[in-house]
Amino acid sequence: METGTMLKTLQDPMGIPFYPLVFQVLMVLTFALHIMFVNFTIGTSALAVYGHLRKEENWKQLSKSMARAVSVNVSMAMLLGIAPLLFVQVVYDPFWYASNTLSAAWVMGFIIIMMVAYSSAYVFYLGREKREGKGFTFYGVLALALFLSAGIIMHVLGYQLLQPEKWLGWYIKGDAVNTSGTSLHAFQLPRFLHYIIPSFAMTGIFLMLYAWYFKNREDMDKGYLDWVGRIGAKTAFLFTAMQSVVGFWWLLSLPGEFKFLANPFFLVGLVLGIALLVFLYSARRDPVRYAIPSILGAFVTIFAMSYTREALRMKYLGRFNYSIFDYKLDIDWGSTALFLATFVMGLAIIGYLLSVAYKSGRVAGEYVATPSMNKWGSISIALLLIWIVLVAGLGVIISVRNYL
């Protein structure tokens, strides 16, 4: 069976319920958010372990904060990973499913690895709170190593996906098939590194944010915060520079036929990447002041790079005449509206929650909400109740119409 025909055969016959561009934008946007927290997770895990091994008081304190940050970062990474995982299956189903079933045992291994990694990260964080000492280093190192292994698995799945011409060769040996799912078939070092190196650059910016966030807290030591900010800015610049080298390495390893150097997505990503590097160079002078623009700039760059990655995928799969824009459409306005409305509502509610977290962390004692914050909270609760009433109402109408 010719590869292009195979891909068409594998596509879901139901079609997709909305325009592919919308799924693509959502997929790339949520992937960018996801990978940012993956980077934070790996970077803060590494820093937590490193600081734990150092003797200086500053490092000890930073390690403690980082260990706590890991638990939140990994949760966010998982949470934000769900959306791109969902959307990739909508528009790239043949590729995602084939790549996953070919390495099925590893796909399940990923879950086990993440469970152990996450639990170890918690033991590292909570265990040290109770008892001082180096005994918990093991759990920190284990968590970091497992987070990286999980990254390798995801990288392989994402890379196998791009090579449908090789799938049959991986699966079939003579007249028999390999159903064990225990092999990982494709790995590309520069591509993998391009996802991992930013962990340290992003964590550098994370530290700048940390210094910025706590600067007005009376119970925090100024010297310590300055130190954290400086380390952050230095790391952010250094690893962003390294990232650009790895980026070119990856670029050069791509098939020449893609002419990716002239790809507009790539060029936008490149310009933003260079701008970020220059910006971070200046940020070293005053990390606290540059913290917010740095994270915004970094996110815009990550988003552009994520779209570049998507453009690259379109190049890879275009070789087999696959385009998500040819997907059979079966538009469903009702469920699309349900999502969009819920999404907007969700932003308002999540905004409230994050504001409480933000404001409460900035004061040393108990945070007392302002009347406008209280109002925002009450509106959030009301929105949720309205959502339930509307959806239940819709359900009742449909049930009455269909069954009574």
> Which residues in the 6-45 window bind another protein by CB under 8 A?
6, 9-10, 12-18, 23, 26
How far, in Å, are 10, 34, 210, 316, 317 from residue 20 at the CA level?
18, 20, 39, 18, 16
Q: Nearest to residue 144, comparing CAs of 156, 136, 133?
A: 136
Pick the piece of the chain touching another protein (CB under 8 A) from 37-45, 134-142, 224-232, 391-399: 391-399
26 vs 233, which CB is nearer to another protein?
Answer: 26
Q: Which of 19, 61, 65, 76 binds another protein (CB under 8 A)?
A: 76
Q: Alpha-carbon distance 26 to 87, whole Å?
A: 8
Q: Nearest to residue 114, comparing CAs of 42, 48, 66, 190?
A: 42
Q: Is 372 an interacting residue with respect to another protein (CB under 8 A)?
A: no
CB of 315 to another protein, least distance (A): 23
Q: Is 125 an interacting residue with respect to another protein (CB under 8 A)?
A: no
Q: Is 233 exposed, middle or buried (0-12, 13-18, 19+ CB in 10 A)?
A: buried
Q: Nearest to residue 33, comparing CAs of 90, 93, 78?
A: 78
Pick the piece of the chain touching another protein (CB under 8 A) from 58-66, 236-244, 288-296, 326-334: 326-334
Q: Is 218 an interacting residue with respect to another protein (CB under 8 A)?
A: no
CB of 248 to another protein, least distance (A): 34
129 vs 286, which CB is nearer to another protein?
Answer: 129
CB of 175 to another protein, least distance (A): 4
Tokens, residue 300: 């815009």
Collapsed DSSP state (helix, strand, coil) of residue 259: coil
Q: Which of 216, 253, 321, 335 binds another protein (CB under 8 A)?
A: 335
Of 147-206, binders to another protein (CB under 8 A) are 167-168, 171-172, 174-177, 179-181
Q: Which of 278, 296, 368, 389 binds another protein (CB under 8 A)?
A: 368
Q: Which of 187, 248, 325, 343 binds another protein (CB under 8 A)?
A: 343
Q: Alpha-carbon distance 42 to 60, whole Å?
A: 18
Q: Which of 29, 145, 314, 345 binds another protein (CB under 8 A)?
A: 345
CB 243 within 8 A of CB 197: yes
Q: Alpha-carbon distance 184 to 182, whole Å?
A: 7
CB of 122 to another protein, least distance (A): 6
